[in-house]
């Protein structure tokens, strides 16, 4: 039996360690520098809707696809006020940098079954009557924005042709709805909502194509992962950022997309995305950041605990103003104290701006009016804010689904027994932390014996 030699074993171990150190530490001549060797995978940019569907769609939705011509508007859309520059920023070429701007923002712009039926004519679709009473209001704004809660795809059935798909309302509409929205005075559309997947990947591409054909600024729905999530708009010399998310889910229809497709096309809310986007907006020179978010409980005027939690996340991320939609009902206006000491306004839901919905809670709506101004220090600040109370009327003077302001001078003398009750409901829901604009005039129809054409005006608050 051989005797154990400690000295010999020690020498062998020492030799092995030295050899390892030599090979581990010597320069790797054959290896290129890390920056040269690392290969960054190029992002996938689909060339068209067909290529996107092949890559992003896991399986098709349960409806029979359509093949038809693109629906054309009856009226010619007005020329857009804003155009996108080579730097990606939207601007008006016909305005001075005054440092003072009026922004008007609305809730959900919907085009549902009965609206489609009422808007169909021998020449095509016409929805302009819905906004005939607010065009003059929007004329006073430097930027008008709303939430487009519809897909606009000729490849899928319209809602009037198939009301539900896979158990959920199918909010696909004819593209000429955008002619009415454009001619009403809207400049910008928020597009992230629970109906984004109603017409599949092709519907997402069709909707973005139509929105761009009509010249709208838009955010919240994308063709690929490389399209910017921050939309920058210069208004009167002030650079504003708009971020748009859905915290509502997508009615389960996002399951038809691959994971890559969901990330590339949709704007599902997460705190991580929010913080990234706010930081990017500030780096790009944004002086005021709006966050428009789809959230809350449908047909309810109440705010959920989840909405409050998300609102605090948005405020703490650095946003300046928070606006909500999705409940198809108004929700309160409140103010949040952010961790950095800022007071951040949040209007939890602006309600439906137009829809065919019959519930009283879904007919009350508002136009949010925000006035921004550059102060003496050069910072852009919220100078004034208020809301114009409105109501959606199923019919009014021969027109269908008409949005009518409830207060003068905005309502142009409209007379209805529904105006005063709607005003009271809206004031009660919104609360007294923000001003209702205009004055409520108690009018009745003239011509009845002993009844005057108008009763004394009530000032706001009376």
Contacts of 179 (CB under 8 A, 6+ apart): 73, 74, 75, 76, 77, 127, 128, 214
The one-character DSSP state at 89 is -
Cα–Cα distance measured from residue 86 to residue 201, given in angstroms and rounded to the nearest whole number: 28
Task: Give the model's pLDDT for residue 28.
Answer: 44
- Going by the DSSP 8-state scheme, the letter that residue 434 receives in this structure is S
Confidence at residue 222, expressed as pLDDT on a 0 to 100 scale? 98
Please tell me whether the overall predicted TM-score, pTM, comes out greater than 0.75 for this model: yes
The answer to the question of residue 381 being in a domain is: yes
Of residues 67 and 170, more confidence is placed in 170
Indicate whether 37 belongs to any domain.
Answer: no
Instruction: List CB contacts of 325: < 8 A, sequence separation 6 or more.
Output: 107, 108, 147, 149, 190, 193, 292, 293, 294, 295, 349, 350, 351
Residue 55 maps to a domain: no
- pLDDT at position 11, please? 54
In a domain, 2, yes or no: no
Check residue 165 and give its pLDDT: 97
Q: Is the pLDDT of residue 37 over 60?
A: no
The number of angstroms, rounded, from the C-alpha of 338 to the middle of its chain's C-alpha atoms is 23
431-441 pLDDT per residue, tens:
999 999 999 98
Task: Give domain status of residue 190, yes or no.
Answer: yes
Residues 183-239: tens digit of each pLDDT: 999 999 999 999 999 999 999 999 999 999 999 999 999 999 999 999 999 999 999
Q: What is the pLDDT of residue 33?
A: 47
Which pLDDT band holds residue 69 (cuts at 50, 70, 90)? confident
Position 73 scores a pLDDT of 86
The burial of 82, by beta-carbon neighbours within 10 Å (0-12 exposed, 13-18 middle, 19 or more buried), is given as buried
Domain assignment present for residue 39? The answer is no
What is the average pLDDT across 43-55?
Answer: 94
Q: What angle do CA 442, 445, 446 make, to 5 degrees?
A: 110
Q: Average pLDDT in the 287-293 region?
A: 98
The owner of tokens 């679709």 is 125
The answer to whether position 413 is within a domain reads yes
Q: What is the pLDDT of residue 8?
A: 56
Are 315 and 342 spatial neighbours (Cβ–Cβ below 8 Å)? Answer: yes
**Residues 253 and 265 sit within 8 Å (Cβ to Cβ):** no
* Residues 349, 325 contacting (CB under 8 angstroms): yes
Number of domains in the chain: 1
Mean pLDDT of 322-345: 98
Which of 144, 335, 323, 355 lies closest to 233, judged by CA? 144
Sign of the Cα pseudo-torsion (80, 82, 87, 89, in order)? negative
Are the C-beta atoms of residues 290 and 241 closer than 8 Å to each other?
Answer: yes
Which residue in 161, 167, 224, 171 sits closest to 197, CA to CA? 171
The mean pLDDT value for 345-365 works out to 98
User: What is the model's pLDDT at position 84?
Assistant: 97
CATH of residue 388's domain is 3.60.21.10
Question: What's the whole-number average pLDDT of the chain?
Answer: 90
Q: Is the pLDDT confidence value at 102 over 90? A: yes
Q: Would the pLDDT of 71 be above 90?
A: no
| pLDDT mean over 73-101 | 91
| pLDDT value for 5 | 57
Q: How far apart are CA 402 and CA 267, in angstroms?
A: 30
Residue ranges making up the domain that contains 369: 70-458
Q: Which helix (H) or strand (E) holds 381?
A: strand 380-396
CB of 243 closer than 8 Å to CB of 278: yes
Task: Look at residue 28 and tell me if it is in a domain.
Answer: no
What is each CA distance from 266 to 6, 252, 273, in whole angstroms? 68, 13, 12
């Amino acid at each position: 039996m051989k005797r154990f030699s400690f000295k010999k074993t020690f020498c062998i171990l020492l030799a092995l360690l030295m050899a390892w150190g030599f090979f581990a530490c010597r320069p790797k001549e054959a290896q290129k520098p890390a920056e040269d060797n690392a290969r960054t995978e190029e992002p996938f940019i689909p060339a068209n809707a067909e290529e996107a569907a092949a890559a992003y769609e896991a399986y098709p939705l349960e409806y029979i696809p359509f093949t038809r011509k693109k629906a054309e508007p009856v009226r010619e859309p007005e020329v857009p006020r804003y155009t996108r520059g080579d730097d990606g920023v939207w601007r008006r070429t016909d305005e001075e940098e005054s440092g003072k701007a009026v922004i008007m923002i609305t809730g959900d712009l919907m085009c549902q079954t009965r609206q489609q039926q009422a808007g169909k004519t021998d020449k095509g679709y016409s929805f302009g009557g819905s906004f005939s009473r607010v065009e003059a209001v929007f004329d006073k704004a430097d930027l008008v924005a709303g939430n487009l809660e519809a897909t606009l795809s000729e490849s899928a059935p319209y809602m009037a042709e198939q009301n539900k798909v896979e158990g959920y309302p199918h909010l696909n509409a004819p593209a000429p709805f955008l002619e009415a929205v454009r001619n009403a005075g809207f400049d910008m559309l928020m597009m992230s909502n629970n109906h984004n997947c109603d017409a599949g990947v092709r519907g997402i591409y069709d909707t973005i194509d139509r929105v761009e054909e009509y010249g709208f600024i838009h955010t919240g729905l994308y063709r690929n992962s490389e399209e910017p999530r921050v939309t920058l708009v210069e208004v009167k010399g002030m650079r504003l950022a708009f971020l748009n998310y859905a915290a509502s889910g997508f009615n389960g229809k996002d399951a038809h997309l691959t994971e890559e497709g969901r990330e590339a096309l949709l704007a599902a809310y997460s705190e991580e995305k929010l913080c990234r986007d706010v930081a990017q907006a500030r780096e790009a020179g944004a002086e005021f950041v709006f966050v428009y978010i789809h959230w809350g409980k449908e047909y309810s005027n109440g705010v959920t605990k989840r909405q409050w939690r998300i609102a605090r996340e948005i405020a703490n991320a650095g946003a300046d103003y928070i606006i909500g939609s999705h409940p198809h009902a108004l929700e309160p206006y409140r103010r949040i104290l952010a961790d950095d000491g800022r007071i951040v306004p949040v209007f939890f839901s602006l309600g439906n701006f137009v829809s065919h919905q019959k519930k009283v809670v879904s007919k009350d709506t508002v136009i949010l009016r925000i006035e921004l101004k550059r102060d003496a220090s050069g910072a852009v600040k919220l100078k004034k804010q208020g809301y114009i109370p409105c109501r959606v009327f199923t019919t009014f003077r021969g027109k269908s689904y008409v949005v009518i302001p409830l207060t003068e001078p905005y309502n142009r003398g409209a007379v209805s027994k529904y105006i005063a009750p709607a005003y009271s409901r809206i004031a009660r829901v919104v609360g007294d932390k923000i001003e209702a604009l205009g004055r409520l005039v108690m009018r009745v129809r003239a011509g009845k014996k002993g009844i005057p054409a108008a009763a004394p005006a009530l000032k706001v608050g009376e």
